[in-house]
Amino acid sequence: MTDPVLRLTDVRRVHGTGATQVEALRGISFAAYAGELVAVMGPSGSGKSTLLTIAGGLDQPTSGAVVVEGADLTGLGLDARARMRRTSIGYVFQGFNLIPALTAAENVALPRELDGVPARTARQEARAALEEVGIGELADRFPDDMSGGQQQRVAIARAVVGERRLILADEPTGALDTETGEEILRLLRARCDAGAAGVLVTHEARHAAWADRVVFLRDGVVVDETGTASVDLLTEPAAR
Amino acid sequence: MGTTRGGWQVALRLARREAWRRKGQTALMLLLICLPVVAVTAAAVVWRTQDVSGVESIERRMGAADARLVAHEGPMVEQHFDPDVAQGWVGEGTRKPATLDEVLAVAGAGRPAVPLLRESRTFRTDAGVADMEVLTTDLDSPLAAGLVRPVEGTFPPGPGEVVVNRAAADRGPGLGETLTVLHKTADGEQEVELEVVGIAESAVSRGYPFAAGQPGTFGGSATHEHEWLLGGGPVTWDDVVALNRIGVAVASRHVLTDPPPDSVLTSGGSPVSSLLLDSGPDELTITVLALVVVMVLLEVVLLAGPAFAVRAKAQAHALALVAAAGGTPRQARRTVLASGVVVGLVGGVVGVVLGIGAGALAVPVAQRFNSTVFGPFEVPWPLLGVVAVFGFLSALLAAVVPAFAASRQDVVAVLGGRRGEGRPSTRSPILGVVLLGAGVAGAATGAVAGQEVGAVLIAGSALVAVVGMILVVPVVVAVVARLAARLPLALRFAARDAARHRTRTVPAVAAVGATVAGVVALGIAVSSQEAANEAEYTPLLRDGHGSVSLSNPDTDPAAVDAVLRKAGLDDQVEAITGLRLSTDTEEMELEFRQGEEALWLSYWSGLGSPYAVGETVPDFVDIAPAARERADAVLAEGGLVLLQDPHASEGSYTLPQLDGDPVAVDVRRWSDDLPEPELAATAEAPTVLLEVSGTATVLAVFSPPVVEDLGLPTAVVGTLLAAPISDETEKDVAEALAALPGDPYFYVERGYRTPDEVRIIQAVLAALGGILMLGGTLTATFLALSDAKPDLATMAAVGARPRTRRGVAASYALVVGGVGALLGAPVGFIPGVAISQPITKDPVTGTTLLEVPWTLVGLVVVGLPLLTALAVGACARGRLPLTARID
Ligand SMILES: Nc1ncnc2c1ncn2[C@@H]1O[C@H](COP(=O)(O)OP(=O)(O)OP(=O)(O)O)[C@@H](O)[C@H]1O
Ligand SMILES: [Mg+2]
């Protein structure tokens, strides 16, 4: 088997010190391979978001290794990790997090432009990415003038532009209605089928059905790792 | 009404909590409101303290005595209750000044009295001679206590001894050494040598040489007046009036502390009395003051505006929820206004308190630069009350626009998490353009109106234009955001974000704009004025060269030469022979005329006489070779050469062409025993009038035959130093020459020099402008950065380098500073160009000058914003917020 796009090895993350100390992750190991969409599930406060920020290089683990496309993020400086996020890792948030001062196309082009790609080229790539998620005609709109679903598509376009191979999505459908949410997941799935590795944090078993694999977290540890077949069984009680 | 009060109570409570919760932001708001209050308060305290009021000046004027009396030669005196404010003689003729006996006969026999005299004398310094003030009185007497403050050594001095102050001791005669005082009397100059036994400062001034001694110490007095300090109980206003009748002016402790009513002073309506009526500030002063206050208020409001806008924005969500729950727009408005009330109250009071402290610290510093001894520390409470109200008002006004914006906010957009503001109004920019037009029109009117009215009109128009500019700012910011599409990411983001948060951006841009407008306007005014001064200036000599004028027959040219030789200037010396126009008793004046028509030559020269005598034109006259040839020919045939400096042409008067035409010279003699000048001699000679190419130095060159005809004596009237003279040499030579009899005048041509006070004012204004610009840009930038935290976090998430934050910060600064400067500069031209007209207007020709300081304009418009941006970029934290938890 080929090397995974993302590999976490015995990752621990402790927030704060002393009495207020919280151990968000307590030794997590898991990997995501190219072409695969991994769902991460677990109750609130189990460490899902923390896991994702560490995988995305936004946060550093207290101990353990985080390897993305062969590079160990824990050994990289702020600048180098920023470069990883521009070139290898795409991030999709629950709250869309588009920059309101930039148009849809400019938002999508942002990582490319930050990477030094000429503005014109970046804008073209962005338009292509927007076409791909089905909203090419909204390229020059500002986020405030778009619906939530449209904004999230822009966010996905931004996460995939520039052929990035690791897509991290933290409850990307949380603020959307069911139908729009399904549409967003379909886009994610398509991206993974095209060769990217995806990690999807979600609360809903229904969404986990789009994934190839589900990782269950509880109190900062992986309690189960399974195929999608058993997802329904395992999560129904928790979801209620 | 009850609900109104209740509404305010809730709003104020919310504002207090909010102020407490966002401490950093509140601190910034307080700082912006406080700083001007602190500055004005400190200035007011220093000003009131350095100002010596009548009562405060009693000790320095009369020590511990009850009155100070001055006996005049006039028969009677009329005086203000404070004779230093106004006094005059009444009645015909002169009288012998009253004696002490006469005075005591009126004031009450048995009163103790000591003579007192303040005079100016010359004393020997290490380098030559200098002037000093000497005080002569009975320093042992309790009446004189407080006039002199002993510092070191013995006090009081005995006969043949003196005390001097630091300033005098530093120039030569120190403690234990000898003070040589020069004293001119009828029988020549007299030197008095005195032993310095102590160092003591005058109660009046410091920094200027001063000496004090017992009566008779400094030799005979030159004045015909007699002065005394009088003791023995209060001297009443009736006593003062009685003493006035025998020609004595009185400064009485009792009267100064408890002045008589105005009705007593103004009786009779004589000229002195009318001088005394304190005719409060005139309308012009009040108008100017009002304009200045409004401008300062505007600037403060603009500077503080962004902070209040951001505070209001932070409350937007809560206000939207209130609105959704049925709150009225007025409640929303009140909630935001309450922030202004809270910050204004605290800022005003804290500012005044801090200002008094700052003033107390500044008083000793100010005293060091001021030779007059300050009065006691004084806090002008009523004035400070006004200043505190000013602070309160500025905070309230700064909250007004955000308050109205909050009451009109789009509830749906806010609750939907949209952070931007709607489209800008289209009406206000139109009004803005109208106001700008009105400003231009008003300034143009003011430019051609009279000096004073014009200035007020122009200042008023400037204010109108600035308000117009403020109304235009939103559109310009929006346009800049539009144009930003092609700019690099950081700039594009900054420009668009600035446009999206107008209530925050507009006041900041306007503050920078108003500052730049002020700097540009003042810059144009000062440059134009300076250009006019420079154009008016006529050099007397070639640049850097010097001259010694020998007009007084007492001055020995050989002694002057000796001084110059000692200074190493002897090999460039040229003695000028000319007409001697004055003797001890008479003064000659020359008048030139062609037929009956008088020829007016300007009269100013650094020499003892502006008329040289010679058979050829002296070398120092700058004149074209052909003209020189012609002049020498005329002189050879016994003629006269008149020289004209084109720079010195007086107004529209031009001399007629003269080329060998006969010109008559009349000599008029002035003398003490003649009631009117008399015609002493007349001569006629062929004359040429020539224009000089550089400096003329003299006005005319007489050939010896003409001088003979006029019967005037010739003499060395001056010495020219035909080489550049350093500042240091100039000082040495001047001090050495001052010690010679006849006080020969030493002049060095330095060309036009900007007066020091103009330079200081320029520097202060430039610094103030820079600080205001920087302040406006910085507050706006850092408020914007804190507002943009979520966006910066997003950028980080998609891979922005940490230093992107610096780029964004610098871009904000560039947008705010650049747009402000670009708008402000043209607005500054309106009053600047207008005011340059009246202040440079030549009273005769009516020509005006306009000098635009392009370097300054360029620096302010391009340099400062760039510099600020760089500084902001360098200072901003190069760390992006990495937390992705934004919602
Ligand atoms: N910056 C922080 N400081 C302190 N504790 C933190 C911080 N971030 C997260 N935590 C703690 O770490 C634990 C894991 O948080 P995390 O956000 O990863 O949970 P989650 O699984 O994403 O929850 P949710 O489903 O509610 O989003 C929680 O107990 C949380 O309180
Ligand atoms: Mg989470």
Other Cβ atoms within 10 Å of B195 Cβ, number: 16
**End-to-end CA gap in chain B:** 41
> Which band of pLDDT confidence, cut at 50, 70 and 90, is reported for residue A233?
very low
Sheet holding A63-68, edge to edge: A22-32, A6-15, A63-68, A71-72
Its ipTM equals: 0.82
CA distances from B865 to B505, B765, B815 (A): 15, 17, 8
- pLDDT of the residue at B733: 82
Q: Which atom of ligand 1 is nearest to the CA of A46?
A: 21
Residues in B closer than 8 angstroms to A116, CB to CB, are none
Q: What is the pLDDT of residue B522?
A: 87
Tokens linked to B716: 């060395």
Average pLDDT for residues B63-76, to the nearest whole number? 84
- The alpha-carbon gap from B470 to the nearest alpha carbon of chain A, in Å, equals 23
- In degrees to the nearest 10, what's the CA dihedral of B664, B665, B669, B674? 20
**Can you give the three-state secondary structure of B725-756, one letter per residue?**
CCHHHHHHHHHHHHCCCCCCEEEECCCCCCCH
Closest residue in chain A to residue B803, using alpha carbons only: A79
Residue range B640-689, pLDDT digits in tens: 888 877 665 555 567 777 787 888 888 888 876 777 778 888 888 888 88
Verify whether the Cβ–Cβ distance A115 to B799 is below 8 Å. Answer: yes
SS3 at position B231 = coil
Give the dihedral of Cα atoms A41, A46, A50, A52; nearest 10 deg: -10
Mean pLDDT of B714-730: 82
Tell me the domain boundaries of chain A: 1-88+172-240, 98-163
Among A48, A88, A102, which would you mutate to test the B interface (most chain B Cβ atoms within 10 Å of its Cβ)?
A102
For residue range B486-507, list pLDDT tens digits in order.
888 899 999 999 998 888 899 9
A61-95: pLDDT as tens digits: 999 999 999 889 988 888 888 888 888 998 888 77
User: How far apart are alpha carbons B611 and B581 in whole angstroms?
Assistant: 9
pLDDT of residue B676: 76
Is the CB of residue A24 below 6 angstroms from any atom belonging to ligand 1?
yes
Higher pLDDT, A2 or A229: A2
Residue B348 pLDDT level (bands cut at 50, 70, 90): very high
| Contact flag B798-A91 (C-beta cutoff 8 Å) | yes
Q: How far is CA B794 from CA A107, A112, A147, B414, B859, in A?
A: 10, 14, 19, 20, 36
User: How sure is the predictor about B395, in pLDDT bands with cuts at 50, 70 and 90?
Assistant: very high
Question: Whole-angstrom Cα distance, residue B811 to residue B870?
Answer: 9
Q: With CB atoms and an 8 Å threshold, state whether A114 touches B492.
A: no
Residue B260's pLDDT band, with cuts at 50, 70 and 90, is: confident
Amino acid at B582: S
Most confident of A225-229, B218-222, B608-612: B608-612
Under CATH, what is the fold of the domain A1-88+172-240?
A: Rossmann fold (3.40.50)
Q: List the domain boundaries for chain B.
A: 116-226, 475-537+755-887, 546-748
> CB of A49 closer than 6 A to ligand 1?
yes
Among B229, B252, B249, CA closest to B136 = B229
> Could you count the other beta carbons within 10 Å of the beta carbon of residue B656?
10
Assess whether pLDDT exceeds 70 at residue B275.
no
Closest to B130 in 3D by CA, of B732, B542, B658: B732
CA of A53 to the centre of ligand 1 (A): 11
CA dihedral sign of residues B655, B656, B659, B662:
negative
From B648, B679, B645, B644, select the one nearest B664 (Cα to Cα).
B679
User: Probe ligand 1: pick from A12, A20, A46, max atoms within 8 Å of CB?
Assistant: A46
Helical H segments across B63-184, by residue range: 100-107, 166-171
Residue A38 CA, ligand 1 centroid: distance in Å: 20
If you average pLDDT over every residue of chain B, what do you get?
82
3-class DSSP assignment, residue B398: helix
B834: nearest Cα among B436, B433, B514, B525: B525
The Cα–Cα gap between A135 and B36 comes to 54
Conformational region of residue B63, where left means phi above 0, alpha means psi within -120 to 50, and beta covers everything else: left
**Residue B396 near residue B337 (C-beta atoms within 8 A):** yes
Residue range B314-341: mean pLDDT, rounded: 82
Give the mean model confidence (pLDDT) for residues B287-298: 83
Best residue for ligand 1 mutational test, from A15, A60, A215 (most atoms within 8 Å of Cβ): A15
The pLDDT value given to residue B548:
84
- Which of chain B's residues have a Cβ under 8 Å away from the Cβ of A163? none
The pLDDT-based confidence of B346 (bands split at 50, 70, 90) is: very high
CB-based contact B885 A79, cutoff 8 Å: no
Residue from the list B493, B802, B882 with its beta carbon closest to the beta carbon of A59: B882
Which residues, other chains included, contact A128 with Cβ-Cβ below 8 Å and sequence gap of 6+? none
**pLDDT at position B352 over 80:** yes
pTM of the model: 0.76
Name the closest residue on chain B to residue A88, using Cα atoms. B799
| Per-residue pLDDT band at B221 (split at 50, 70, 90) | low
pLDDT-derived band of residue B266, with 50, 70 and 90 as boundaries? Answer: very low
Do B489 and A110 make contact, defined as CB atoms within 8 angstroms?
A: yes
Q: Report pLDDT digits (tens) over A126-173.
A: 999 999 888 989 999 998 888 888 898 899 899 888 878 899 998 888
Gap from CA of A45 to ligand 1 centroid (Å): 5
Phi, psi at residue B549, to the nearest 5°?
A: -90, 130
Please list the residues that pair with B76 across neighbouring strands: B90
pLDDT reported for residue B365: 84
Beta carbons of B288 and B294 less than 8 angstroms apart? no
* Numbered residues of chain B with Cβ closer than 8 Å to any chain A Cβ: 413, 418-420, 486, 488-489, 492-493, 496-497, 500, 790-791, 793-802, 804, 882-887
- How far away, in angstroms, is B349 Cα from ligand 2 center? 48
Burial of B428 (0-12, 13-18, 19+ CB in 10 A): middle
CB–CB of A38/A214 below 8 Å?
yes
Mean predicted confidence (pLDDT) in A107-134: 89
Distance from CA of B480 to the nearest CA of A (A): 13
Q: Is the CB of A202 under 6 A from ligand 1?
A: no
- Amino acid A237: pLDDT: 41
Q: Say if residue B273's pLDDT is above 50.
A: no
List, in sequence order, every residue forming a beta bridge with B149; answer none if it has no partner. B201
- As given in the structure block, the two tokens for residue A22 are 């919280």
A173 close to ligand 1 (CB < 6 Angstrom): no
Neighbours of B755 (CB within 10 A): 10
CA distances from B715 to A55, B551, B582, B739 (A): 102, 9, 11, 22
Q: Higher model confidence: residue B580 or residue A123?
A: A123
Enumerate residues 6+ apart whose C-beta is below 8 A from B743.
B552, B555, B737
Alpha helix stretches (DSSP H) within B315-426: 316-324, 329-368, 381-407, 411-415
- Note the pLDDT of residue B611: 87
The whole-angstrom separation of Cα B131 and Cα B183 is: 11
Q: What token pair was written down for B828?
A: 């500054």
Give the pair of three-digit tokens for residue A226. 């399974």
B19 vs B416, higher pLDDT = B19
How would residue B438 be classed by pLDDT, with cut points 50, 70 and 90?
very high
**For B300-331, what is the HEC assignment?**
HHHHHHHHHHHHHHHCHHHHHHHHHCCCCHHH
How far, in Å, CA of B600 to CA of B579, rounded? 18
User: Once rounded to an integer, what is the mean pLDDT over residues B793-818?
Assistant: 88
Distance (angstroms) between ligand 1 centre and the Cα of A28 equals: 15
Q: Determine the pLDDT at residue B185.
A: 58
CA dist A23 → A8, A46, B301, B424, B873 (Å): 17, 10, 49, 49, 37
Q: Chain B interface, mutation test: which of A117, A120, A144, most B Cβ atoms within 10 Å?
A: A144
Which chain B residues have a beta carbon less than 8 Å from that of A56?
797
Please give the pLDDT value at position B2.
44
| Percentage of chain B modeled with pLDDT above 70 | 91
Backbone φ/ψ region at B544: left (φ over 0), alpha (ψ -120 to 50), beta: left
Residues of A in contact with B488 (CB under 8 A): 119
Decide whether any atom of ligand 1 lies within 6 Å of the A44 Cβ.
yes
Q: What is the pLDDT of residue A236?
A: 43
Cβ–ligand 1 distance for A47 under 6 Å, the answer: yes
Q: How far apart are CA B442 and CA A63, in angstroms?
A: 73
What's the mean pLDDT in B225-231?
A: 82
pLDDT digits (tens, 9 = 90+) for B726-742: 888 888 888 788 777 77
Which residue in chain B has the smallest CA separation from A157? B798
Q: Do A144 and B420 touch (CB under 8 A)?
A: yes
Q: Is the pLDDT of residue B887 over 50?
A: no
Question: Cβ atoms within 10 A of the Cβ of A2, count?
Answer: 7
**pLDDT of B542 higher than 60:** yes
Model confidence at A179, pLDDT cuts 50, 70, 90, reads confident
